[in-house]
Amino acid sequence: MHLIVSHDFLPKQNSTRAAIVMDHFGIGFEKGRHVIAEDFDLPIKPGDVVLFTGASGSGKSSLMRAATAQLQTDPSNQSLNSHPPTPDSQLSTLISQPSTLRNIDDLNLGDGILIDRLPLPVEESMSLLSACGLGEAHLMLRTPAELSDGQRYRFRLALGLSQRPRWIVADEFTATLDRTLARVIAFNIRRQCDRTGTGFLLATTHEDITDDLAPDLHVQCRLDGEIFAMRNEESSESESPPPLKKKRSPSPPTSGSAPRPNPTGRTSQLTVRFDVQECGFPASFRRKQKVRDALGGSILTMRELRKQTGISPVMLKQVTAAMVKDGMVSETTVNKLGHTWAAFTLPARSRTA
């Protein structure tokens, strides 16, 4: 998929105030277009979880909308809906129609209670609401108007998933949620994608969900105009592709991922352990274990770690940053070929354990 994203720099409507603003900032009428991306290659595959991250104004939402427009017109995208309409749902006929793509911001939430709004058998509806953080009885029996903004956002995700489109689009993903619950939802979205084959296009300013979401394609947009598109294929040892550059300025900081909460939203250590046993090890745990196994009693640079673990460069940087923060590995330096390199090793207590 090749994207061309640009906007007219001049105002769409001429006015006296617009002229004053242009004169104040020295903008002439000869100005052309503001280019965000020109012939940018976005290697999206069917069923991918695609995450667009970056600071506000970096162009992530514009890129996602351009990708959405191309997917919408792709004849190969067909609905995944395999369920007949639910008889007791008032809008079952409407929302069970085949759909290539659903933008959760455009969904009609309706006036019925949550459990009646999903066009699925009641058991599947309850399971889906639970996966989206609405698993309590008093929430399932409420109407969308009775929910908080964060709860309503989660219901939009559940409603979109219940309609079985090929793709689901969500801007400002988890922006209205507290960060612990955001990571829970991200982890469950990854599981839903793996189970149903539904693809996701998600845009957010928060990078703390990246480890739990484990996106197949991570698109990082920077305020200086650089765009990185990295596929998360742990078997690949190739370097990241060259970025699209317009100008240079410091990139926005990223944050490491906190320990993964369990899908119930409860954060006690006991329930987290049960969730790991029941649902399988999450991607974040597997990557950290790969790093620990590779280090053993050695001191390895980032390049050596990447070769031994097969983790992509962007993801490995996030994993090691989180492990250093949690005290799971120690950061040091080594001198090789006359150069000093950042390196990692296990703490002394971990090597002797």
The 49-54 sheet, strands edge to edge: 101-103, 167-170, 199-204, 49-54, 217-221, 227-231
Q: Which long-range contacts (CB under 8 A, 24 or more apart) does 297-300 make?
A: 297/346, 297/351, 298/345, 299/332, 299/334, 299/343, 299/344, 299/345, 300/343, 300/344, 300/345
Apex CA 16: angle with CA 10 and CA 22, to 5°? 40
CA distance 188 to 135: 13
Beta strands (DSSP E) in the chain are 2-8, 33-41, 49-54, 101-103, 167-170, 199-204, 217-221, 227-231, 300-301, 330-336, 339-345
Instruction: Identify the pLDDT of residue 311.
Output: 83
Higher pLDDT pick, 128 / 80: 128
Instruction: Identify the pLDDT of residue 298.
Output: 83
Kind and range of the H or E element at 130? helix 122-131
**Parallel, antiparallel or unpaired: strands 199-204 and 167-170:** parallel
Name the percent of the chain lying above pLDDT 90.
Answer: 31
CA distance 92 to 120: 9
Q: Mean pLDDT score of the chain, rounded to an integer?
A: 76
**Parallel, antiparallel or unpaired: strands 339-345 and 300-301:** antiparallel
Instruction: Give the dihedral sign, CA 22/27/31/36.
Output: negative
Supply φ then ψ for residue 218, to 5 degrees: -115, 115
User: Model-level pTM?
Assistant: 0.60
Specify whether the CB–CB gap between 163 and 120 falls below 8 A: no
Beta strands (DSSP E) in 9-164 are 33-41, 49-54, 101-103
Specify whether the CB–CB gap between 104 and 84 falls below 8 A: no
Q: Which residue ranges make up each domain of the chain?
A: 282-352
Region of residue 112 (left: phi > 0; alpha: psi -120 to 50; beta: else): beta
Higher pLDDT pick, 252 / 74: 74
Biggest CA–CA distance in the chain, Å, is 74
The pLDDT tens digits of the residues spanning 296-321 come to: 878 888 888 888 888 877 778 888 88
The pLDDT tens digits of the residues spanning 161-170 come to: 999 999 999 9
Q: What would the mean pLDDT of 332-339 be, rounded to a whole number?
A: 74
User: In the CATH scheme, what architecture does the domain 282-352 have?
Assistant: Orthogonal Bundle (1.10)
